[in-house]
Amino acid sequence: MQYQRSSALFKAAQNVIPGGVNSPVRAFKAVGGTPIFVERAKGAYLYDADGNKLIDYIASWGPMILGHAYAPVIEAVKSRAELGTSFGMPTALETQIAELAIAMVPNIDKIRFVNSGTEACMSAVRLARGATKREKIIKFAGCYHGHSDAFLIQAGSGAVTFGSPSSPGVTKGTAMDTLLAPFNNLEAVAQLFKEYPDEIAAIIIEPVAGNMGCIPPVPGFLEGLRSLCDQFNTLLIFDEVMTGFRLAKGGAQELLGIKADIVTFGKVLGGGLPVGAFAAKNEIMRHLAPEGPVYQAGTLSGNPLAMAAGLAMLQALHSDAQIFDRLAAKTEYLHEGLESVLKTTKIPFQINRVGSMISLHFTAHNVIDFKSTTSGNNQKFNNYFHGMLEGGIYLPPSAFESYFLNDALSYEDIDFTIKRFKKVIKSI
C-alpha cells in the first residue's frame, strides 16, 4: 500500500501539533513507521488519505460498537445541530439519556455527564474522597484511568510501596496518595489495607483491563476486592469507560456479577462524540454539587450533540437483544482463527478475550497483569502489525492495547483477516 499522502500530512502536523498527534499512541512510536491519516469511515471500514480501504479492529478505541457512521447516530446529531450546538443550560435530552442509562446499568440511581473518560474517573475519585473523608486510593499497575495526575503513577519496588510519578508534572505529593498493586493480585491489595486500614477512600479498577492488552480478572479477584471494600468501608470504583455498554447492557457489573459503588463510563456512551459519565447510588451521589459539597462542573457537560449521539447509540443497544451475543461470537471466531494459525507454528503466544475485546501476545507466559504483558516479543508484534496493515487490516498500533470489534464486521471480513494473518505469520 502507498501512504505518501499520510506521510505528508504527518510531516505538516508535526510543525504545529506536538509529535504530530493529539493522543500519543496515534504517532506509531510503539510500532514504527508513519501513522495513517483517515479521511472517512463507514461500517467496518476506514478509508485513509491515500485512498486505501482498511478493516477496522479498534473502532475508535471502542466507541464505534455498531460500526462507523451508524445512521441513527448521524441523523440524531444532524437534527440536534440544526437547533444549536451548545447552550450551557439544561436540556430535556440529558434527562432522557440519564433515564435510559440508569435503566440499563445495575446498582446506579443517578448519573452525571462529563466530557471524557478522564474527567469521569477524576470526578469519581474526588467523589469517593468526599464521601469517605479519606485521601488515599488504590490503583493497579497497567490500568489506565485517563491522564489525571492521580492516575499517572507507576509501581515502585512492590505493592506495599508508594508509587512514583510516571510523567513529569505529576507531583510527589500526588503519588503519595496513590497506592499500587499488581492486577489480579488480591494478596497485595489485602496488604495495603493492613498498612492503611482507615485511609483508603477507594479502589479504582478496570474490571477487564484494556490498556495492557485485554486482561480478564482471574476467578475470585473482583469478588475479593468487593469483600475488602466492604470490610474497610472503602468504595469500589469500576472504570467501565471501555467495558460499559460493550460487554453487556449493564457492562462488566452485569457480565461478571460484581457490584461496584461508583461506575465510570465513556466511549460507547457518546456514540463517537466526546462523552464521559460517572454514576452511583443516591447515598453517594448526594455528596455531589449542587446537592452536596463535592464540586464538579463543565461548560460543555451534557452537550446536546453529544447527548443526541449517545442516546441514539444506547437506544440501539437497548433494543437489540442479541447484539452482545453477536459481538462475542464474532470475537470468538476471530480468536479461534488466529489460534488455529499460530498452532501450526512454533511461535509462543497467548490470546486473551472477553466479549468483544481481544488481544494477542507473543509470549509463552499467561498474561494476567502488567508484568506478564511486558514479557511479549514486541518486535514480533511490530512485524505482525505492519504485515497486517499492508494487507488492509488496521490493528491497535501497540502491543499493549485491546482490539475492539464492531457489529458491522462480517464473517467474511474476519475470514479475510485470518487469511492475511496466515500469510504474515510466516515472516515475523
> Is 346 one of the annotated active-site residues of the chain?
no
Among 144, 384, 394, 403, which one carries the catalytic annotation? 144
Q: Which residues contact 246 (CB under 8 A, 6 or more apart)?
A: 62, 65, 267, 268, 327, 355, 356, 357, 404
Instruction: Provide the 3-class DSSP secondary structure of residue 375.
Output: coil
Q: Which residues contact 343 (CB under 8 A, 6 or more apart)?
A: none
How is residue 43 annotated by DSSP?
A: B
Among 139, 267, 330, 380, which one carries the catalytic annotation? 267
Cα three-residue angle 419-420-424, rounded to 5 degrees: 125
206: which 3 cell numbers?
478496570
> Is 177 one of the annotated active-site residues of the chain?
no
Cβ(114)–Cβ(296) under 8 Å?
A: yes
Q: Which residues contact 63 (CB under 8 A, 6 or more apart)?
A: 267, 268, 270, 271, 272
Among 48, 177, 239, 369, which one carries the catalytic annotation? 239
How is residue 342 annotated by DSSP?
A: H
What is the distance between the alpha carbons of residues 93 and 100, in angstroms, rounded to a whole number?
Answer: 11
**Residue 139 pairs with which residues in a beta bridge?**
180
What is the distance between the alpha carbons of residues 281 and 260, in angstroms, rounded to a whole number?
Answer: 10
- Helices marked H in 196-287: 221-231, 251-256, 282-285
Cβ(268)–Cβ(55) under 8 Å?
A: no
Residue type, 89: M
Instruction: Provide the 3-class DSSP secondary structure of residue 17.
Output: coil
**Residue length of the chain:** 428
> Is 144 one of the annotated active-site residues of the chain?
yes
Known catalytic residues?
144, 239, 267
